[in-house]
Amino acid sequence: MRSSWADSVVNSAAENVAAGSSASNGVATAAKPTRGAYIPPHLRNLTPSSEPPAPAYSGPSSANDRSGYSGNRWGGPRNDSNQTGYSSGGRTGGWNNKSGGWDRGREREVNPFGDDVDTEKVFSEQENTGINFDAYEDIPVETSGDNVPPPVNTFAEIDLGEALNQNIKRCKYVKPTPVQRHAIPISLAGRDLMACAQTGSGKTAAFCFPIISGIMKGQASQRPPRGARTVYPLALILSPTRELSCQIHDEAKKFSYQTGVKVVVAYGGAPISQQLRDLERGVDILVATPGRLVDLLERARVSLQMIRYLALDEADRMLDMGFEPQIRKIVEQMDMPPQGVRQTMLFSATFPKEIQKLASDFLSNYVFLAVGRVGSSTDLIVQRVEFVHDTDKRSHLMDLLHAQRANGVHGKQYLTLVFVETKKGADSLEHWLCMNGFPATTIHGDRTQQEREQALRSFKSGVTPILVATDVAARGLDIPHVAHVVNFDLPNDIDDYVHRIGRTGRAGKTGLATAFFNDNNSSLAKALSELMQEANQEVPAWLSRYAARSPYVGRNRRSGGGGRFGGRDFRRDASFNRGGTDYYSGGNSSTGYGTAGGYGGGYGSGVTSAWD
DNA sequence: AAAAAAG
């Protein structure tokens, strides 16, 4: 007999699994060795995972309860569901579904794939079906740097280790995606990497596989005896938003299942107590947002001394004005090993040259990899631009939504993501939509973390098939079934536009992106029109006229090069090589199409690949 | 000018 909140934890976890999402923070995989006695991850997992289930809950121990959060307090009855009254149905929400505190110490690892028996079913019903591989066969690939390791064609020809291979199979990843074909061998060869690959193309797996594999094969290293509660992760993965860190964590848990490699996530807006407990149970890979990590470092609960792998997702965002100081602090001013000692990997769909230059501070003799922007800006996403005055935007949006509804394509299979400029604007548009009979919710930085996560769940589940979002949702989030992205307010930066529309058209599926353009967006006209032209989209004549009038340089100013990539290696750009430093090694460099690596063709229908 | 990220 469990207490009622324990039941809600269990139910909530069960729903988590049923929904195919990972029940986060699985409990330790094996008896925890005493600190100081380092046991390599592959030896930690000798305990079979077929242990009896955790016994009935018998109440929190006083030790666990220090924070006061172990109970239902955070997930309590206070209904935070948005003003519409649409709740995500069934979920209690809140933090308790992640707690794991009640059965901590169990030598059981939560199966992130759901029930073993149903694994096939769960995954065959998920989004990883019907991938349009044909769309990826002529993806251009460009690499530069010294002695670039050649790409592989299959997972089988890389020695990732048996346990990891097993998980790749469980994910039904049959073939590596283009970015994975190139990035994984580069990482396994120990090289630093700056990778520029289209949205939704499998970047998460591209940096997780080599990290997990490397940790499993790694030599047992001496753990420095230190402050009792300090933990020493071997890999650090940073991302710019809390939800993205959660998503990466969920993915990494799948990839590391039964490998003995422990993944922990830490981010702000959630109680730190649970994250501290997770860390104490051991961590090999730490996924974090910068603010919370700095907090943990300053409390000396985490040390970066043992870091062997550093990965920055959405690296261009991580190094832009808002984030750069924090990232520099973490990477350069704490106790992380310097570049060249650790291995560093930077990933993003866009890589402005200015940011590349900053990023090269963190890298050592790195390989630059660019994989074409298919998936975010080719014909997989139909891009439309409509001239709409600010005052007409709402009614215009309403027309679009009515049309969708009339076509019978609303509901779970037809999610609509609406981007606006400001947090206030998001709240107000959400309210207006709800008043007008369109179930909507919103995600932005003024909402509590619980509200944000609730909104995302409610959107993904189709309960509120419209999500009004600020740029917090622009990058990296993988939301299946987003068929329509509306840029209600266009961003000022074309790269932000690329990331936003990349929320649809994922995993080779088609998507629609509609933008409302007016005089306030004239500075974007040239870049937008060029981008659309590159993607073979129909550019309205009025937009071309705006573009011709535009005093601004197009996207070349930022990502440079334009064309097929989200960026080109700045080391090859003469303007960056004045002043004596020849960044570009002149080593081998190749540009070619996908088949250069020999991976053209050969996808059977229904075959799944490792998209992110 | 806005958003994000610590509380």
Q: Indicate if the pLDDT at residue A238 is higher than 60.
A: yes
pLDDT value at residue A133: 46
**Whole-number distance in Å between A417 CA and B4 C1':** 19
Average pLDDT for residues A291-298, to the nearest whole number? 96
**Whole-number distance in Å between A242 CA and B3 C1':** 13
What is the sign, positive or negative, of the torsion defined by CA atoms of A68, A71, A75, A78?
negative
Is residue A110 a contact partner of residue A26, using CB atoms and an 8 Å limit? Answer: yes
Please tell me whether any atom of strand B lies within 7 Å of the Cβ of A326.
Answer: yes
Report the protein residue whose CA lies nearest the C1' of nucleotide B2. Answer: A422
The pair of three-digit structure tokens given for residue A359, joined into one six-digit string? 């990023």
Q: Which superfamily is assigned to A381-557 in CATH?
A: P-loop containing nucleotide triphosphate hydrolases (3.40.50.300)
Interior CA angle at A538 toward A535 and A540, to 5°? 130
Please tell me whether any atom of strand B lies within 7 Å of the Cβ of A470.
Answer: yes
Q: Indicate if the pLDDT at residue A29 is higher than 80.
A: no
Strand A285-288 and strand A343-348: pairing?
unpaired
Nucleotide nearest to A292 (CA to C1'): B6
Give the N- to C-terminal CA distance of chain A in Å, as an integer: 40
Strand A285-288 and strand A193-196: pairing?
unpaired
Residues 443-462 of A, Cβ under 7 A from nucleic strand B: 444-446
pLDDT value at residue A225: 56
Nucleotide nearest to A421 (CA to C1'): B2
Please tell me whether any atom of strand B lies within 7 Å of the Cβ of A239.
Answer: no
CA-CA distance, A455 to A449, in Å (whole number)?
Answer: 10
Average pLDDT for residues A506-531, to the nearest whole number? 89
The pair of three-digit structure tokens given for residue A590, joined into one six-digit string? 């190749």
Query: How far lies A607's CA from each of A180, A544, A603, in Å?
Result: 16, 41, 7
pLDDT value at residue A477: 93
Quick count: other Cβ atoms within 10 Å of Cβ A90?
A: 12
**Whole-number distance in Å between A60 CA and B6 C1':** 28
**Whole-number distance in Å between A474 CA and B3 C1':** 11
Average pLDDT for residues A388-407, to the nearest whole number? 91
CA-CA distance, A386 to A396, in Å (whole number)?
Answer: 10
Please tell me whether any atom of strand B lies within 7 Å of the Cβ of A468.
Answer: no
CA-CA distance, A517 to A489, in Å (whole number)?
Answer: 8
**Whole-number distance in Å between A359 CA and B3 C1':** 22
Digit-coded pLDDT (tens) for A39-97: 545 455 443 333 333 333 333 333 333 233 333 333 333 333 333 333 333 333 445 44
Digit-coded pLDDT (tens) for A484-493: 999 999 999 9
Least confident of A192-201, A203-212, A384-393: A192-201
Nucleotides on chain B that have an atom closer than 7 A to a protein CB are 1-7
**Whole-number distance in Å between A454 CA and B5 C1':** 20
SS3 A368: strand
Tell me the percentage of chain A whose pLDDT exceeds 70: 66
CA-CA distance, A397 to A403, in Å (whole number)?
Answer: 10
pLDDT value at residue A576: 54
CA-CA distance, A319 to A139, in Å (whole number)?
Answer: 27
**Whole-number distance in Å between A322 CA and B4 C1':** 8
Least confident of A247-256, A390-399, A448-457, A575-584: A575-584
Distant-in-sequence, close-in-space partners of A146: CB < 8 Å, separation ≥ 6: A365, A367, A585, A587, A588
pLDDT-derived band at A535 (thresholds 50, 70, 90) equals confident
What CATH number was assigned to the domain covering residues A140-217+232-371? 3.40.50.300
pLDDT value at residue A227: 57
Please tell me whether any atom of strand B lies within 7 Å of the Cβ of A295.
Answer: yes
Please tell me whether any atom of strand B lies within 7 Å of the Cβ of A421.
Answer: yes
Digit-coded pLDDT (tens) for A255-268: 999 999 999 999 99
Average pLDDT for residues A508-523, to the nearest whole number? 90
Beta-bridge partners for A286: A236, A264
Tell me the percentage of chain A whose pLDDT exceeds 90: 53
CA-CA distance, A10 to A23, in Å (whole number)?
Answer: 11
Q: Indicate if the pLDDT at residue A244 is higher than 90.
A: yes
The pair of three-digit structure tokens given for residue A35, joined into one six-digit string? 């600190």
Sheet holding A415-419, edge to edge: A381-387, A511-517, A482-487, A415-419, A466-469, A440-443
**Whole-number distance in Å between A320 CA and B3 C1':** 12
**Of A45 and A9, which is predicted with more confidence?**
A45
State the helix-helix crossing angle for A423-435 and A393-406, rounded to 10 degrees.
Answer: 50
Digit-coded pLDDT (tens) for A170-184: 998 989 999 999 999
**Tokens 């622009």 sit at which residue?**
A474
Average pLDDT for residues A426-438, to the nearest whole number? 95
Query: How far lies A387's CA from each of A12, A376, A494, A502, A514, in Å?
Result: 45, 22, 17, 22, 11
Average pLDDT for residues A148-160, to the nearest whole number? 92
pLDDT-derived band at A113 (thresholds 50, 70, 90) equals confident
**Using only C-alpha atoms, what is the Rg of chain A?**
24
**Whole-number distance in Å between A271 CA and B7 C1':** 11
pLDDT-derived band at A25 (thresholds 50, 70, 90) equals very low
**Which residues of chain A form CATH 3.40.50.300?**
140-217+232-371, 381-557
Please tell me whether any atom of strand B lies within 7 Å of the Cβ of A268.
Answer: yes
Please tell me whether any atom of strand B lies within 7 Å of the Cβ of A267.
Answer: yes
Mean pLDDT, chain A, as a whole number?
Answer: 75
Interior CA angle at A289 toward A284 and A291, to 5°? 115
Got the DSSP string for A532-562?
HHHTTPPPPHHHHHHHHH--S--GGGTT-S-
SS3 A333: coil
Digit-coded pLDDT (tens) for A330-358: 999 999 999 999 999 999 988 888 899 99
Highest-confidence segment of A95-104, A155-164, A322-331, A398-407: A322-331
Is residue A292 a contact partner of residue A256, using CB atoms and an 8 Å limit? Answer: no
CA-CA distance, A96 to A294, in Å (whole number)?
Answer: 25
